Amino acid sequence: MDYDVVIVGAGISGALIAKRLGAAGKKVLILEAGIDGQGSYADDLERFYLAQAKVPESPYTPPIVTADASGYQAPSNPSKQAAGRPSTLTLGEANWQDPSQAYLDQQGPLAFASTYERVGGGTMRHWLGTSLRFVPNDFRVKTVYGVEEDWPIGYDELEPWYGEAEAEIGVAADVANQDYLGISFPPDYQYPMPAIPSSLVDQAVTAAMPKVAPIEGIQLEVTNTPAGRNSIPYQDRRVCAGNTNCIPICPIQAKYDPTVTLAAALQFPSVSILYQTVASEIVVDASQQVTAINYLQYTDQNGPATGSGSVSAKLYVIAGHAIETPKLLLMSTNGGLTPNGVANSSGHVGQHLMDHPIYLSWALTESPLFGYRGPLSTAGIESMRDGAFRSKHAAFRIEIGNEGWNFPIGDPYTTTLDFIVGANASGLNKGSKGAFGSSLTGSLNHALTRQFRLGFLMEQSPEDGSRVGLSETWTDSLNLPRPQIHYNLSHYTKMGFVVAKRTADQIYAAMGATQYTKQCTAADMKTDPTVFEVTYDAQGNPAQPGAPGSTTEYFRFYGAGHVVGTYRMGTDKCDSVVDREQRSWDHSNLFLVGSGVFPTVATGNPTLTIAALAIWASETLLADLG
Partner 1 sequence: MTDPVAQDPLDQFVALSAILTGVAADKLHPTLDTYGTAREYLAYATANAGAQFAGLMRFYAANSSNPDVGSLVFNNTDPAIAYMAKTVMLMWYLGAWYPPDGLQKYHDNPQPPGPPFLVISADAYTQGWAWRVGQTHPMGYSDWRFGYWHSAPPPLSAFIGA
CB atoms within 10 A of CB 488: 18
Report the distance separating Cα 252 and Cα 248, nearest Å: 12
Among 347, 422, 512, 545, binds partner 1 (CB under 8 A): 422
Least separation in angstroms between CB 512 and partner 1: 19
444 touches partner 1 by CB under 8 A: yes
Indicate the SS3 state at residue 23.
helix
| CA–CA distance, 31 with 493 (Å, rounded to integer) | 37
3-state secondary structure of 504: helix
Q: Nearest approach, Cβ of 121 to partner 1 (angstroms)?
A: 18
Q: Is 541 in the site for partner 1 (CB under 8 A)?
A: no
Residue 313, amino acid: A
Find the binding residues for partner 1 in span 10-69 (CB under 8 A).
45-46, 48-52, 54
Q: For residues 38 and 416, which CB has a smaller minimum distance to partner 1 in the complex?
A: 416
Name which of 451 and 618 has its Cβ closer to partner 1.
Answer: 451
Distance in Å, CB of 181 to partner 1, minimum: 26
Note the Cα 371 to chain centre separation in Å. Answer: 23
Sites for partner 1 among residues 209-248 (CB under 8 A) = 231, 239-245
Distance CA 454, CA 362 (A): 6
Cα distances (Å, whole numbers) of residue 97 to 91, 112, 305, 533, 566: 8, 11, 26, 21, 22
Q: Interaction with partner 1 in 98-127: which residues (CB under 8 A)?
A: none
Put residue 518 in one of left, alpha, beta given phi > 0 → left and psi -120 to 50 → alpha.
beta
Return the number of the residue (41 or 372) whose C-beta is nearest partner 1.
372
Query: Other CB atoms closer than 10 Å to residue 370's CB: what's the count?
Result: 18
- Tell me the three state secondary structure of residue 113: coil
Q: What's the CA dihedral at 344, 350, 355, 357 to 10 degrees?
A: -140
Q: What angle do CA 471, 601, 550 make, to 5 degrees?
A: 90
251 belongs to the binding site for partner 1 (CB under 8 A): yes
Dist CA 310 CA 274 (whole Å): 12
Nearest to residue 116, comparing CAs of 398, 391, 468, 360?
468
Q: Which of 448, 592, 597, 614 binds partner 1 (CB under 8 A)?
A: 448
Residues found in the chain: 626
Do residues 563 and 595 touch, judged by C-beta distance below 8 A?
yes
CB atoms within 10 A of CB 512: 12
Please report, as residue ranges, which positions from 364 to 383 form the binding site for partner 1 (by CB under 8 A): 368, 370-375, 378
Stretch that binds partner 1, among 75-83, 400-408, 493-501, 617-625 (CB under 8 A): 400-408
Single-letter amino acid code for the residue at 568 = R
Q: Which stretch binds partner 1 (CB under 8 A): 6-14, 428-436, 498-506, 521-529?
A: 428-436
526 lies in the site for partner 1, by CB under 8 A: no
Q: Which stretch binds partner 1 (CB under 8 A): 124-132, 139-147, 301-309, 403-411?
A: 403-411
Q: Which of 267, 265, 264, 297 is nearest to 280 (CA)?
A: 297
Chain positions 545 to 604 lying near partner 1, rule: CB under 8 A, are none
As a whole number of angstroms, the distance between CA 370 and CA 286 comes to 64
Helices (H), 186-280: 200-208, 259-266
At closest approach, how far in Å is the CB of 172 from partner 1? 11
Does position 421 interact with partner 1 (CB under 8 A)? The reply is yes
Answer for which of 90, 325, 402, 605 binds partner 1 (CB under 8 A) is: 402
Q: Pick from 99, 304, 387, 412: which binds partner 1 (CB under 8 A)?
A: 412
- Closest approach, Cβ 95 to partner 1, in A, equals 12
Q: Which is nearer to partner 1, 530 or 566 (CB)?
A: 530
Shortest Å, Cβ 119 to partner 1 = 18
From 156-164, 441-449, 521-529, 574-582, span contacting partner 1 (CB under 8 A): 441-449
Of 145, 189, 413, 554, the one binding partner 1 (CB under 8 A) is 413
- The amino acid at residue 141 is V
Own/partner contacts of 68-73, CB < 8 Å, gap of 24 or more, are none
DSSP string covering 454-494, please?
EEEEE-PPP-TTSEEEEEEEEE-TTSPEEEEEEE---HHHH
Residues 6+ apart with CB under 8 A from 215: 383, 384, 499, 502, 503, 506
Does residue number 95 form part of the binding site for partner 1 (CB under 8 A)? no
Q: Which is nearer to partner 1, 198 or 490 (CB)?
A: 198
Q: How far is the CB of 78 from partner 1 (least distance, A)?
A: 21
Closest contact distance (angstroms) between CB of 88 and partner 1 is: 13
Q: Which of residues 472-511 bind partner 1 (CB under 8 A)?
A: none
- One residue of 186, 286, 436, 549 binding partner 1 per CB under 8 A: 436
Measured from the CB of residue 139, what is the shortest distance to partner 1 in angstroms? 34
**Minimum distance from residue 531 beta carbon to partner 1 (Å):** 15
From the list 306, 308, 445, 521, which residue makes contact with partner 1 (rule: CB under 8 A)? 445
| Residue 558: DSSP 8-state | B
- 143 and 276 in contact (C-beta within 8 Å)? no
Site size toward partner 1, by CB under 8 A: 61
198 binds partner 1 (CB under 8 A): yes
Residue 294 neighbours by CB under 8 Å, 6+ apart = 279, 280, 281, 283, 308, 309, 310
Q: Which is nearer to partner 1, 350 or 371 (CB)?
A: 371
Output 410 or 540, the one with its CB closest to partner 1.
410
Applying CB under 8 A, the residues found at the interface with partner 1 are 45-46, 48-52, 54, 70-72, 197-200, 231, 239-245, 249, 251, 368, 370-375, 378, 402-404, 406, 412-414, 416-417, 420-425, 432, 434, 436-442, 444-445, 448-449
